Structure formats: structure tokens, C-alpha cells
């Protein structure tokens, strides 16, 4: 079994991440998080919030609505432009994203090409339906937003959409939020929450789903004022640069981004991702046809997802004044700010934006290792201790002779840390269970504990064991 399949299997078996509504056939593109997954997700989300919101004086957080009125998406351009090209078989009605189908059939990267160009390719290569060999037709673009109505009337005035990005909720309110948080440019407003896209063909596990969690930061700056990048080391791209040049046909990565803010945010995010345990990373600039309708320059941070190859983990987009201008025009409100001299200006925006779900899958893939022990395959998830769902498991070697009571005592001393107690099965099985869940430490209480108050502390990645005083455990693992 290849690595990706092994990780997906582990996720399903241990209920880390698994298809939603299994009892009723699991509609594509929806996933639930079980006990380990929910905790891992929360830890990664907290790590982002801590680093990019709590620890920064220039960023404030917000938490906006998921369901939002039509006008927001009309103004943002999503109603008109948030589309994917759809191809349909005239015979069996099979539907697929046109650029994906063409890539699959011809091996050519055609994402971002116009409908006309895609139609031309289908015609030129006489592409047929992969299911029934029927004739293919590329029709109107398919809008990815989920639509509903808020209220008892079902007309255009009550039309509402599940947000396809969290960002718009920041743009509509940015001026009052900045005032409330007493922020002056350059400043950021950050949000972490659910986003929804009716993907034509959700695939590759949580990489492309219909409901997912985004972490987005809109950073507002005044182009006309000279600015400093505070504690900002400028990013050195050399290692990723070389890898990118070798691997990606689309890349134009041989130069640093022109914008200092782009360099700065790439550096910040790469540093954060490395801290989460990711090593196989590179950055890649979008070519023109890949750019979203609101962006003039975008750089992706990509991760090497084992057999899938390099894929987008997050993107940093220069959105300029597009969103604020659009909402000011549509609402008729003045959304400009005043600089120190009383002169009005519309700030430019740079946006680091990523999805938690595909980040978690990257973390799990990077952390996944298999080792052979006594001709048995064992899985070890080498998660960073800072995000592991459980920091340590406490085991009594046996349940009798007061050992379980002593183990409970040790467990009690670790209260407040992410610690679990486990007394079922052989000690080997318990170690294996903990390794597979990515638990960095196991603490075993045995007969010697009763004599000298020490326990065995075992480290997951090296399987090395040392004797440690119960009273020193907390300091050792915390
Ligand atoms: N506000 C900008 C924005 O939404 P995007 O590139 O469309 O930009 C940002 O999405 C990030 O959200 C992506 O880098 C990816 O990590 C995540 N994402 C987008 N679509 C997704 C999907 N269908 N499933 C899971 N994650 C997705």
C-alpha cells in the first residue's frame, strides 16, 4: 500500500478523519473528525490563532457568519466569477471539471484556461466520456457557491449563500473592526472558520472537499506611506527555489517576490509550517491565468504529498483595493481610511489564506512512519509534541499489587496536561496504540515505582526508556 493510502486507512480505522454520514452512503466531499482528529485540528487551529492573532499587536481576530446575503457575493464578484468549467457527457450525463478531465486525458495542465480554449482542446483531440465514450460538451461555467434562502419567502431578496471564503466578512466590516481594536495601517484582521464550495468533483480525501475550515488573514497597508517590515527577516528561498525549478513546469520562482509584504508573509508562514513539523515545502508564484479574479500576484506554499506530488497548501494573494472598492461601490458607503495628515486613502490588502483540513493531512503524511518489529508492521505518527492530540499515556504494568493505584496517582499529578490513562491489553499493545496516535511519551508504573518512586518514561520516536521520578515527570514532558 502506498503512503497516502496508508494514512487515509489509519485515519478511517482510528476515526481521526472519516467520511461523514457513513450510515447513508457518505456523500462525496464531507468529512468528520473523531476524538484524535478533533483534538489535532483544535491544536493546529490554536497554534495559528496564537501566532498570528494573540501574539501580534497589529492583528485582531473576528468570527463572522457562515450564511451571508446575496449582496455580499454580488459585490465581491463571486456570483459572477467564482466558477469552474464543467464538462458533461451528452449520453450518460457524467459530469466532471473540464480542466481536470482534459489533464487526465492529455496530461496537460490547463487550469485557468478560457472556456473557448478548453472546448477547442476537447474538439481537437476528439475527447470522449471516460465512462461511456459518449460525446462531451463544455457548457456554461458552474458556480461553486451553495445557495439557500433566509426566511419564509424564496425570492432574490432572501437569497443567501454559504460563504466560499471567510475573507469577505472581514472586508465588509474592516473599518469598524479596526476602529474597535484601535488599529492603524499596517494592520490585520484574522478569521478562522468554515467555508463551503460545491466542488464539481471533490477528491483526494480532505484535499478538496465541499465543507472545510479556512484560516485567513487580511493585512491592510497604505501603499503611499513608506513602511518598515518589523522583525522582518527577508525570506531566503534558495532551497525551495531550486526544488521548484526542478519539479514544476509552471514555476517562475527564480526571483524573490517583488513586494516586501509578500516576502514577509511567506517567511512568517513557512516558519510556522516548519514548526508544525512540515519539511517538504516549496513556494511557487501563480502564472497569470491561474490568478483569482481579485488578485494581481499570488504565491502558493506547496507541500509534497507523497505519491500525489507537490500541491497547494496555502496561498498568499495580493488583493490590492479590489474588495474594499467593490463593497464601497455596491453599498454606497465610504470605506476609506484617513492617514495621519487627514488624507483619505483605501488600503491595499495582502492575504495569506489556507485550509486547515489539507494542512492536517500534510502533517499526518509527513509524520507517518512504518517500522518492522518482530516481523510485524507498526505505525508511528511522529507529530510535534505541541500539536499531538495526547502528550502522554500513563500505563500500570499490571493492574494488581497496588500498581494501578500508583499509576492513577501519577496520572493525577499530570492533571491539566493532555494525558490519558490506559490499562487495557499488553504493554506492547498499549505502546503500539499510543505510537499510532502520535503520543510523544508513555509513562509506565511498575514494581520498582512502589520501591523508589520512579517510572519508565518512553519516547515515541526513539523508543528509548529512562527512569524518572514521578515528581519530576511534569517538568520532563510538559
Ligand atoms: N480567500 C482566498 C481564498 O479563499 P483559495 O485559494 O480559493 O483562496 C484558500 O483558498 C485555501 O483554502 C487554499 O489554499 C486551500 O488550502 C483551502 N481550500 C480551498 N478550497 C478547498 C477545498 N475545496 N477543500 C479543502 N481546502 C480548500
Interval 26-69: pLDDT, tens: 999 999 999 999 999 999 999 999 999 999 999 999 999 999 99
Q: What pLDDT, on the 0 to 100 scale, is given for residue 255?
A: 55
Closest CA to 392 of 445, 460, 467, 472: 460
Instruction: Provide the pLDDT for residue 233.
Output: 35
CA-based nearest residue to 228, from 58, 10, 424: 58
**Does any ligand 1 atom lie closer than 6 A to the CB of residue 208?**
yes
Of 152, 188, 235, 139, residue with least CA distance to 351: 188
3-state helix, strand, coil in the chain (%, to 5): 35, 30, 35
How many Å is the maximal CA-CA distance in the chain? 82
264/387: higher pLDDT: 387
pLDDT for 173-186, tens place per residue? 999 999 999 998 88
**Ligand 1: which residue has its CA nearest to atom 25?**
208
For ligand 1, whether the C-beta of 315 sits within 6 Å is yes
Q: Indicate which atom in ligand 1 lies nearest the CA of residue 359.
A: 16
Tell me if 178 sits within 8 A of 187, measured CB to CB. Answer: yes
* CA–centroid distance, residue 356 to ligand 1 (Å): 9
Q: Write out pLDDT tens, residues 419-432.
A: 999 999 999 999 99
* Mutation pick for ligand 1 pocket among 17, 200, 213, 214 (CB with most ligand atoms within 8 Å): 214
pTM given for the model: 0.92
Residue 247: predicted pLDDT: 45
Neighbours of 194 (CB within 10 A): 13
Handedness of CA 137, 140, 141, 144 (dihedral sign): negative
Q: How many CA atoms lie within 13 A of 386 on its CB side?
A: 14
Strand blocks (E) in 114-223 = 136-138, 142-143, 147-149, 159-162, 187-196, 211-221
**What's the number of CA atoms in the CB half-sphere (13 Å) around residue 421?**
16
- Categorize the per-residue pLDDT at 249 as very low, low, confident or very high, splitting at 50, 70 and 90: very low
Which atom of ligand 1 is nearest the CA belonging to 167? 1
What is the distance between the terminal CA atoms of the chain, rounded to a whole angstrom? 36
Amino acid at each position: 500500500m502506498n503512503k497516502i493510502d496508508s494514512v487515509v486507512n489509519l485515519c478511517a480505522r482510528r476515526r481521526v478523519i472519516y467520511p461523514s454520514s457513513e450510515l447513508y452512503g457518505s456523500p462525496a466531499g464531507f468529512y468528520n473528525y473523531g476524538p484524535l482528529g478533533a483534538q489535532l485540528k483544535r491544536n493546529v487551529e490554536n497554534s495559528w490563532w496564537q501566532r498570528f492573532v494573540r501574539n501580534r499587536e497589529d492583528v485582531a481576530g473576528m468570527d463572522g457568519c457562515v450564511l451571508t446575503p446575496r449582496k455580499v457575493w454580488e459585490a465581491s464578484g463571486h456570483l459572477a466569477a467564482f466558477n469552474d468549467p464543467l464538462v458533461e457527457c451528452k449520453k450518460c450525463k457524467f459530469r466532471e471539471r473540464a480542466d481536470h478531465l482534459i489533464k487526465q486525458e492529455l496530461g496537460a495542465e490547463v487550469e485557468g484556461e478560457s472556456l473557448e480554449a478548453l472546448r477547442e482542446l476537447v474538439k481537437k483531440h476528439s475527447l470522449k466520456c471516460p465512462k461511456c465514450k459518449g460525446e462531451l460538451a463544455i457548457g456554461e461555467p458552474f458556480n461553486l457557491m451553495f445557495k439557500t434562502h433566509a426566511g419564509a419567502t424564496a425570492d432574490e431578496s432572501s437569497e443567501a449563500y454559504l460563504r466560499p471564503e471567510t475573507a469577505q466578512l472581514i472586508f465588509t466590516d474592516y473599518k469598524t473592526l479596526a476602529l474597535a481594536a484601535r488599529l492603524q495601517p499596517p494592520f490585520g484582521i484574522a478569521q478562522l472558520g468554515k467555508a463551503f464550495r460545491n466542488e464539481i468533483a471533490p477528491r483526494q480525501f480532505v484535499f478538496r472537499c465541499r465543507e472545510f475550515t479556512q484560516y485567513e488573514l487580511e493585512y491592510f497597508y497604505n501603499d503611499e506611506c513608506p513602511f518598515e517590515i518589523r522583525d522582518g527577516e527577508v525570506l531566503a528561498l534558495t532551497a525551495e527555489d531550486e526544488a521548484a525549478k526542478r519539479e514544476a513546469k509552471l514555476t517562475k520562482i527564480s526571483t524573490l517576490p517583488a513586494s516586501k509584504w509578500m516576502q514577509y508573509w511567506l517567511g512568517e508562514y513557512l516558519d510556522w509550517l516548519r514548526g508544525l513539523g512540515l519539511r517538504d515545502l516549496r513556494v511557487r508564484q501563480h502564472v497569470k491565468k491561474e490568478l483569482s479574479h481579485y488578485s494581481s500576484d499570488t504565491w502558493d506554499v506547496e507541500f509534497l504529498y507523497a505519491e500525489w506530488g507537490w500541491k497547494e497548501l496555502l496561498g498568499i494573494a495580493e488583493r490590492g483595493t479590489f474588495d474594499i472598492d467593490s463593497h464601497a461601490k455596491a453599498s454606497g458607503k465610504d470605506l476609506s481610511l484617513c492617514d495621519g495628515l487627514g488624507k483619505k486613502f483605501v488600503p491595499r490588502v495582502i492575504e495569506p489564506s489556507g485550509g486547515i483540513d489539507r494542512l492536517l493531512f500534510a502533517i499526518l503524511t509527513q509524520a507517518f512512519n512504518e517500522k518492522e518489529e518482530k516481523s510485524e508492521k507498526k505505525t508511528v505518527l511522529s507529530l510535534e509534541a505541541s500539536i499531538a492530540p495526547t502528550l502522554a499515556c500513563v500505563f500500570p504494568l499490571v493492574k494488581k499489587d497496588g500498581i494501578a493505584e500508583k499509576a492513577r496517582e501519577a496520572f493525577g499529578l499530570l492533571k491539566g496536561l493532555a494525558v490519558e490513562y490506559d490499562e487495557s491489553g499488553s504493554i506492547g499493545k498499549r505502546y503500539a496504540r499510543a505510537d499510532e496516535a502520535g503520543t510523544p511519551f508513555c509513562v509506565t508504573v511498575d514494581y520498582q515505582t512502589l520501591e523508589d518512586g520512579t517510572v519508565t518514561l518512553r519516547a515515541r520516536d526513539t523508543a528509548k526508556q529512562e527512569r524518572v521520578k514521578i515528581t519530576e515527570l511534569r517538568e520532563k514532558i510538559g
